[in-house]
Structure 1
Amino acid sequence: MDVCVVEMNHSAADVNQKKSVEITKDKNGISQAILRNPRGASARVSLHGGQVLSWKNERDEELLFTSNKANFKPPAAVRGGIPICFPQFGNRGSLEQHGFARNRTWIIEDNPPPLQSFADSSSSDKAAFIDLLLKPSDDDLKIWPHSFEFRLRVLLSVDGYLTLISRIRNVNCKPFSFSFAYHTYFSVSDISEVRVEGLETLDYLDNLCNRERFTEQGDALTFESEVDRVYLSSSDAVAVFDHEKKRTFVIKKEGLPDIVVWNPWEKKSRVITDFGDEEYKQMLCVDAANIEKPITLKPGEEWTGRVELSVTASI
């Protein structure tokens, strides 16, 4: 594997930043950015899909799930990590499932326009971050005829928090609409020992019942069978408790009102070609998303969505 320190041209305070970001290539020749913080936590981001493939704490424990059967060779999306779902989530119309952003090659952007919001989350000189950019190809414009600039900042804080900030700008001459999700695969000990809090009393669309609308009745969501739901207008923080590993993931979000919860369970796992038959036990997707009410941008407008992931010890 080739390794080099990335020479980024960010302003002033980035001597420490340069030391904390490396560019590598995987066995397929795909460039990846390795982010490290001073305490030993790390994150790995592939330029194929702008996808976070790994997030480890300071004890080198992997926090994201990736299937043992995942295909890392383009143009396939990798089963696991945090795929970026844009310009749609799901499988509707002529676009491929979950859109095309997760299947395209992104570039490193050395001098992105300044963030107009969320500035505090990237101001620490001890944070490691990478800025990526995606623009539509001619082929993309044939299937989705809208010009855009998609900027993604992936940031690993000194505390080990993982933050993703997406900015999508309409550089078209007409409005366009899209849906979006950070399709986050959390690594869990045993799905039967996991609960999700922060969804109580919310309405949700059940994809197992033709998107029929229901209201969550429980104090916490637990798992005994397949779940595929879009929780609507959720709070800005949701927690995933893993009782066996005694740790809690906290998902904080801005600009993303919905939460997707997905586990394929046993039957569906057997028909997903890049997913092991028993791997449903070790994963849970909890996605910060905007699905029910698509985002519409007028020419020149920009949308920003942010998710911050953290993990703490729990009793």
Structure 2
Amino acid sequence: MPLNLFHDRDGLPRIILTEPKGSSAEVLLYGGQIVSWKNHRKEELLFMSSKANWKQHKAIRGGISACFARFGDLGSLEQHGFARNRMWSLDRDPSPLPPPLDNHSSVDLILKSTKVDLKTPHSFEFRLRISLSADKLILIPRVRNTDNKAFSFSFALRNYLSGSDISEVRIEGLETLDYFDNLMKRSRFTEQADALTFDGEIDRVYLHSPNKIAIIDHEKKRTFVLQKKGMPDAVVWNPWAKKAKANPDLGDDDYKIMICVSSAAIETPLFLKPSEEWMGYQELSTVSSSYCSGQLDPRKVLYGFH
């Protein structure tokens, strides 16, 4: 499948993935960040901030990025890890992963620790495969411990999905789960609602979440299905109006059209002995849904959809 590497007008090297039915994805080597995912109708499925800063070497608000890594309790590291603020390379040896399927367009990226990076307390290799098909976007992150001692770390794939109106979005699959509320000093609660809806700021880490989560956009009659392995937690975030206005790289009204749901391993850090490797998996897909006509069966989306 076609894979094109070029530099845009801001000098950022990026990779364009395409597939025969017309879907596409754009990946920046800086941060290993996915900044666009379009379906065969050329509809953008990812949110990007209207005030995104493309010209400075800094993680761009939106798309999909890997939050790696906060080692232990080292508070000197960037809030969402340093991988988002490093230049990645093409991985010429993605073994032991199998070759991509014939109907997939893929790219393999790698980020290695360096001795000059004093913020990296351990030696590692972080590999990321990004694979595009007609109706799916798959990310396979892998972290190998190349140090001579064990270490633990937290991890997340931060997904900014495009929505029509956040007040018309509901998330199913998180009901009855315990969660940490970051707006309440990480106090622990249990989700009581049948589905998560939005009417104000939210910043929660849902613990031991299912492998499938449905993000239902009633207005667009579209459901994102998020499937994950190796990342037991899920993070849901929306800054709402006040914090959106205070955020320099977020438009005042951007919060209305963004759905930020992350696959994560936060409560229990991932632990690697020397030479050990961890591998995760995330698959995003979309299905048509109609809240008004009742065509969507949430049980089918969450447990039986293929």
Q: Calculate the TM-score normalised by the size of structure 1.
A: 0.89
Equivalent-residue separation in structure 2 for 1:198 and 1:55 (angstroms): 24
Amino acid at match of 2:153: F
Equivalent-residue separation in structure 2 for 1:32 and 1:123 (angstroms): 20
Q: Alpha-carbon deviation of 1:123?
A: 4.0
Q: Alpha-carbon deviation of 1:160?
A: 2.2
Structure 2 residue aligned with 1:240: 215
CA contact (8 A) 1:186 1:283 kept: yes
Structure 2 residue aligned with 1:86: 68
Equivalent-residue separation in structure 1 for 2:57 and 2:65 (angstroms): 13
Q: How many residue pairs get matched?
A: 289
RMSD: 1.3
1:61 aligns with 2:43: yes
1:194 aligns with 2:164: no
Q: Alpha-carbon deviation of 1:71?
A: 1.0
Question: 1:58-101, CA deviations, whole angstroms, 9 ceiling, x for partnerless residues?
Answer: 00000000001011124211000012100039x96110110100
1:169 aligns with 2:169: no
Structure 1 residue aligned with 2:130: 154
Amino acid at match of 2:114: S
Structure 2 residue aligned with 1:36: 18
Q: Alpha-carbon deviation of 1:107?
A: 0.4
CA contact (8 A) 1:70 1:275 kept: yes
Structure 2 residue aligned with 1:281: 256
Q: Alpha-carbon deviation of 1:290?
A: 0.5
CA contact (8 A) 2:135 2:285 kept: yes
Equivalent-residue separation in structure 1 for 2:144 and 2:56 (angstroms): 26
Equivalent-residue separation in structure 1 for 2:95 and 2:131 (angstroms): 16
1:255 aligns with 2:237: no
Secondary structure of the structure 2 residue equivalent to 1:208: helix
Structure 1 residue aligned with 2:53: 71
Amino acid at match of 1:147: S
Q: Alpha-carbon deviation of 1:210?
A: 0.3
Q: Alpha-carbon deviation of 1:31?
A: 1.0
Structure 1: runs of 5+ lacking an equivalent? 1-16
Q: Alpha-carbon deviation of 1:255?
A: 0.3
Amino acid at match of 2:145: N
Out of 116, 124, 135, which is 1:139 matched to? 116
Secondary structure of the structure 1 residue equivalent to 2:84: helix
Question: 1:244-277, CA deviations, whole angstroms, 9 ceiling, x for partnerless residues?
Answer: 0010000000000000000000011011100011
Amino acid at match of 2:162: S
Equivalent-residue separation in structure 2 for 1:43 and 1:130 (angstroms): 11
1:296 aligns with 2:275: no
Equivalent-residue separation in structure 1 for 2:259 and 2:187 (angstroms): 22
Structure 2 residue aligned with 1:10: none
Secondary structure of the structure 1 residue equivalent to 2:161: strand
Structure 1 residue aligned with 2:197: 222
CA contact (8 A) 1:37 1:160 kept: no
Secondary structure of the structure 2 residue equivalent to 1:291: strand
Amino acid at match of 1:165: I
Q: Calculate the TM-score normalised by the size of structure 2.
A: 0.92
Q: Alpha-carbon deviation of 1:38?
A: 1.0
Equivalent-residue separation in structure 2 for 1:302 and 1:28 (angstroms): 35
CA contact (8 A) 1:197 1:220 kept: yes
Question: 1:178-199, CA deviations, whole angstroms, 9 ceiling, x for partnerless residues?
Answer: 1011110000000000000000
Secondary structure of the structure 1 residue equivalent to 2:69: coil
Secondary structure of the structure 2 residue equivalent to 1:179: strand
Structure 2: runs of 5+ lacking an equivalent? 291-306
Give the fraction of aligned pairs with identical amino acids, expressed as a percent.
Answer: 57
1:231 aligns with 2:206: yes
Equivalent-residue separation in structure 2 for 1:164 and 1:223 (angstroms): 27
1:206 aligns with 2:188: no
Out of 130, 147, 161, which is 2:107 matched to? 130
Q: How does 1:301-312 map to 2 (within 5 A)?
A: 301-312=276-287
Question: 1:11-55, CA deviations, whole angstroms, 9 ceiling, x for partnerless residues?
Answer: xxxxxx3xx211121222121111111100011000000000000
Q: Alpha-carbon deviation of 1:231?
A: 0.2
Q: Alpha-carbon deviation of 1:299?
A: 0.2
